Structure 1
Amino acid sequence: MTEEKDPITPSPSRRDFIKTSSIAAASFMIVPRFVLGGKGFIAPSDRLVIAGVGAGGKGESDIANFYKSGKAEIGFLCDVDDRRAAKSRASFPKAKYYKDWREMYDKEHKNFDAVSISTPDHNHAIITYHAMQLGKHVYVQKPMTHDIWEARLLTEAAKKYKVVTQMGNQGSSNDGTRLMSEWYDANLIGDVHTVYCWTNRPVWPQGIKWPAPQPNIPQELDWNLWLGTAPKKDYVDKLVPFNWRGWWDYGTGALGDMGCHLVEAPFRVLGIQYAKDVQASVGSVYVDEFKEGHFPESCPPSSHITLTFPKTNKTKGDVTLHWMDGGIQPERPEELLPSEQFGGEEGNGTLFIGTKGKMYASTYSDAPTLLPTARTKDAKAPQKWARVPGGANGHYAQWVEGCLAGYGKTELSSSFDKAGPLTEALLMANLAVRGHELEGGRIKLVWDNTAMKVTNFDAVNQYIKRQYREGFELKA
């Protein structure tokens, strides 16, 4: 496919907006559409007007759930693929539709209060950051960002621009995390020193050669806008809408897809945040009986990653967290009976190992269980944490209510101060995975959290902040 010009970019005012969004944001904020103050703006009515960027798939269900809260209006929809947006457009026929989020922001910024972002990982940060600069509350799907630098940027921007934020790991609003926190605080399993998280993902192609380009781009898809921040490449079949997850230019592999759901509980229960070192082993791909394949553009088919987190005020020492994907699982705990299921039926789980016992849960921290399982029924611990009405389904209404209340007024399950460090840890784990593709990279990587870099293997630092394509730059 030949290089295409952005069909909307020629507008001088839009070009200025993209390049100088900080100045533009300041000028927009004087418009009396919003009530502004030291604590951030509050919507001028009891209904939140939302613009949805990414209207198909998970974006479709997110938008529908915001509307179900009874306090949100879907004012605008934006998607690069008309096929994916069709159902949302039919459900919200009054919502004005755009293909380019930049055009929507430029033309409609006075007319909405908040933005929901559900796009491939590589475009999360730029769409979210520019919304925050405009003073908009934001809900972004997991993982929060594609790169570590982006996660740190958005975490700080939420405070700077005083907007209400939420990442779409809905399990963080489930009762399970709160119940396990109460069990742990009641000393039912002692001091946790080791955690295992595992998943059956990927359920999309990984560890493969980049497909041959296809000459015919579907007419409903704007391929240039779909690529966004990523390098210019010819269109390939089946990358859209789901298989992009297995390619480093767009996705973050199994860690990005399921890590936010499974590592959420250890972060909250143990109070861990930034890891201090990481190492990994990855599954090999063989192109014939004896020859190992090497496909650096694609995530590996499986991995086992080990992260070390420093002591917290809830642990007596460092915490070792093991991540396993591609169907790899830890050894069954000896406390389980032979016929008892380990983890969730879907192949995901989280196991805490303490000095006095163990506990585990499935995806979204569902079905928390003490080991031996007979302990669970009679477990007693004081309730310390308020439950979110509706649990995982209430994750959406919680954000809507938070936006209407205003910045700093309510506690959210996955606001960026929580989601940012979680996302950084997962992306740091991916540095170890990517190190396997580099000579000398199969070592323990030592992390300097303040400087945001690996101190003993500089080659992987290129993945902390990537280069953005012209027209889609993210500038702090």
Structure 2
Amino acid sequence: MSQTPLLPSRREFIKQGAAAAATFMIVPRFVLGGKGYTAPSDQLVIAGVGVGGKGESDLASFAKTGKVRIGYLCDVDDRRAAKSRQAFPQAKYYKDWRQLLDKESKNFDAVSVATPDHNHAAVTLAAMQLGKHVYVQKPLTHDLYEARALTEAAKRYPVVTQMGNQGASGDGVRQLQEWYDANLIGKVHTVYCWTDRPVWPQGIPWPTGATSVPPELDWDLWLGTAPFRPYVDKLVPFNWRGWWEYGTGALGDMGCHLLEAPFRVLGLQYASTVQASVGSVYVDEFKRGYFPESCPPSSHVTLTFPATKKNKQEVTVHWMDGGIQPERPEELGPNELFGDGGNGILFVGKKGKMMASTYAANPRLLPLSHNQEVKVKPTLARVPGGAEGHYAQWVEACIAGHGNHTVSAPFETAGPLTEALLMANLAIRGYDLRRPKTTGPGFDYPGRGIELVWDPQQLRVTNFEEVNRFVKRDYRPGWQ
């Protein structure tokens, strides 16, 4: 792995931050205008990068607070941007986020990032270096290296950060934590998280055949940090999730929503080992496909976490996707819903079990009759609005200023969480690495018989060097 510094040098930091630092000295007009006075200039001005789909709904949620002005919109695809441009007609529109930051950085306070995964880190770090608060859709980054870089950046730059896993602000995860803290299930030794995703194609060959780029799409800007490839139909706006160069598969899409609760409840940080098995597809009646560029259609990953101050024993976390589910708990009746049917979280402790649905919603003790019998006094403050209050929480924190307001998913916690799911992806990708056999035809798959040992300080697997190529990718020239 390259030894490139995670962050710019001190000289670069001072140079990049000079203009941003000046903004911290401005006295808000409401201070001068007296109590009850709120000027338009005191609203949080947000620039949205990636404003279709989830980016569109994110901006709408910020605007609902009444304390935000959406001042700038940026998207590489005019089709995807159309609804946001209609909703915020006064917002100035850009296609290239680099031009937006270069030309307008003095005119906005915060950036919402909802691009495909492979461009998250580049946009986010550039905004932070300009002193801008950032809200970034999950997963925080595409690569492990990027996740650690943004975790460190959050400690260095005085900006408010939040990842878009809204379940972190929900009541459910706080209820789970209160039950655990009350010792209702004892120390936890095993956690299961599962999802019915993907709902996009995976485990397939790269499409063939030339296709013209739609006139509304700037394909080169969409690729951004990724290597150049000719445009293929149906990759945009959604199916990119199933390709390693752009997406992070089912883990990237749902991992933050499901693993967040175990991380918060048990105080998990960095895994020590990880291993995986993956499903494959048949290209014909007798032959399995081998498509290493594409995420597999299903996987089962096992991560081991060391003991923590909150849970003083090792924890094994199972991740399952593609419709794979753990064995139903014996405490659950045959007609009682497991998780939410397609997704769920199950904690197995020495004294009992508890489960929840996506976003840690609808938490339940097992057997379900315990939920009527057991009453635990709330000890944790709830976020106003619950999961939907995730957006307003970040807005309030930005207005209050760095360090003056709590947020549920700052990069200091979102970074290690993202690293965990990207470690799981590391094992999945390592599982499919193959070498020609030294004797005879065919291939060996050396990663399939190895439990990967992770060194969180060095950001590398210590017992299978070949997989470390996926820890940090090389950006395309011009996007470094």
TM-score by structure 2 length? 0.91
Check conservation: 1:174, 1:365, Cα contact below 8 A.
Answer: yes
The residue aligned with 1:292 is: 288
For the residue of structure 2 that corresponds to 1:179, the secondary structure is helix
Check conservation: 1:59, 1:117, Cα contact below 8 A.
Answer: yes
Q: Percent identity?
A: 70
The residue aligned with 1:311 is: 307
Distance in 2, matches of 1:126 and 1:367, equals 36
> Is 1:453 aligned to 2:450, yes or no?
no
Check conservation: 1:35, 1:44, Cα contact below 8 A.
Answer: no
Check conservation: 2:21, 2:131, Cα contact below 8 A.
Answer: no
The residue aligned with 2:16 is: 25
Check conservation: 2:17, 2:131, Cα contact below 8 A.
Answer: no
Check conservation: 1:271, 1:313, Cα contact below 8 A.
Answer: yes
Check conservation: 1:197, 1:349, Cα contact below 8 A.
Answer: yes
> Is 1:348 aligned to 2:354, yes or no?
no
Which amino acid in structure 1 is aligned with residue 233 of structure 2?
Answer: D
The residue aligned with 1:66 is: 62
C-alpha deviation, 1:192, in angstroms: 0.7
The residue aligned with 1:39 is: none
Distance in 2, matches of 1:456 and 1:340, equals 43
C-alpha deviation, 1:44, in angstroms: 9.9
The residue aligned with 2:220 is: 224
Correspondent of 1:381 among 373, 376, 379 = 376
C-alpha deviation, 1:23, in angstroms: 5.9
The residue aligned with 1:157 is: 153
Task: List runs of 5+ in structure 2 lacking aligned partners.
Answer: 1-10, 28-38, 435-445
C-alpha deviation, 1:411, in angstroms: 1.3
Check conservation: 1:31, 1:110, Cα contact below 8 A.
Answer: no
Matching of residues 385-464 of structure 1 within 5 Å: 385-439=380-434, 440-442=446-448, 443-464=450-471
For the residue of structure 1 that corresponds to 2:156, the secondary structure is helix
The residue aligned with 1:358 is: 353
C-alpha deviation, 1:22, in angstroms: 4.2
C-alpha deviation, 1:215, in angstroms: 2.9
Distance in 1, matches of 2:396 and 2:352, equals 38
Structure 1 ranges of 4+ moved more than 6 A: none
Which amino acid in structure 1 is aligned with residue 417 of structure 2?
Answer: L
Correspondent of 1:54 among 50, 55, 67 = 50
The residue aligned with 1:12 is: none
The residue aligned with 2:205 is: 209
> Is 1:470 aligned to 2:465, yes or no?
no
For the residue of structure 1 that corresponds to 2:319, the secondary structure is strand
1:73-129 CA-to-partner distances (Å, cap 9, x unmatched) read: 100000000000000000000000000000000000000000000000000000000
For the residue of structure 2 that corresponds to 1:152, the secondary structure is helix
Which amino acid in structure 2 is aligned with residue 444 of structure 1?
Answer: E
Correspondent of 1:247 among 243, 250, 267 = 243
Question: Cα distance 1:239–1:357, how it changes in 2: closer, same or farther (>3 A)?
Answer: same
For the residue of structure 1 that corresponds to 2:179, the secondary structure is helix
The residue aligned with 1:115 is: 111
Matching of residues 310-329 of structure 1 within 5 Å: 310-329=306-325
Count how many residue pairs are aligned between Structure 1 and Structure 2.
448
Correspondent of 2:169 among 166, 170, 173 = 173
For the residue of structure 2 that corresponds to 1:409, the secondary structure is coil
The residue aligned with 2:362 is: 367
Matching of residues 270-285 of structure 1 within 5 Å: 270-285=266-281
Distance in 2, matches of 1:181 and 1:30, equals 39
C-alpha deviation, 1:33, in angstroms: 7.4
Question: Cα distance 1:291–1:188, how it changes in 2: closer, same or farther (>3 A)?
Answer: same
1:1-44 CA-to-partner distances (Å, cap 9, x unmatched) read: xxxxxxxxxxxxxxxxxxx97465233235457649xxxxxx99
1:225-274 CA-to-partner distances (Å, cap 9, x unmatched) read: 00000000000000000000000000000000000000000000111110
For the residue of structure 1 that corresponds to 2:149, the secondary structure is helix
The residue aligned with 1:13 is: none
C-alpha deviation, 1:285, in angstroms: 1.7
For the residue of structure 1 that corresponds to 2:282, the secondary structure is coil
CA-based RMSD: 1.6
Distance in 1, matches of 2:105 and 2:208, equals 40
1:49-91 CA-to-partner distances (Å, cap 9, x unmatched) read: 0000011000000000001011111000000000000000000
TM-score by structure 1 length? 0.92
Check conservation: 2:211, 2:233, Cα contact below 8 A.
Answer: no
1:121-173 CA-to-partner distances (Å, cap 9, x unmatched) read: 00000000000000000000000000001001001111111110000000111
Correspondent of 2:262 among 263, 266, 269 = 266
C-alpha deviation, 1:221, in angstroms: 0.3
Check conservation: 1:193, 1:353, Cα contact below 8 A.
Answer: yes
For the residue of structure 1 that corresponds to 2:447, the secondary structure is coil
C-alpha deviation, 1:213, in angstroms: 4.1
Distance in 2, matches of 1:52 and 1:31, equals 23
Distance in 2, matches of 1:266 and 1:31, equals 40
1:351-372 CA-to-partner distances (Å, cap 9, x unmatched) read: 0001111000000111100000
Task: List runs of 5+ in structure 1 lacking aligned partners.
Answer: 1-19, 37-42
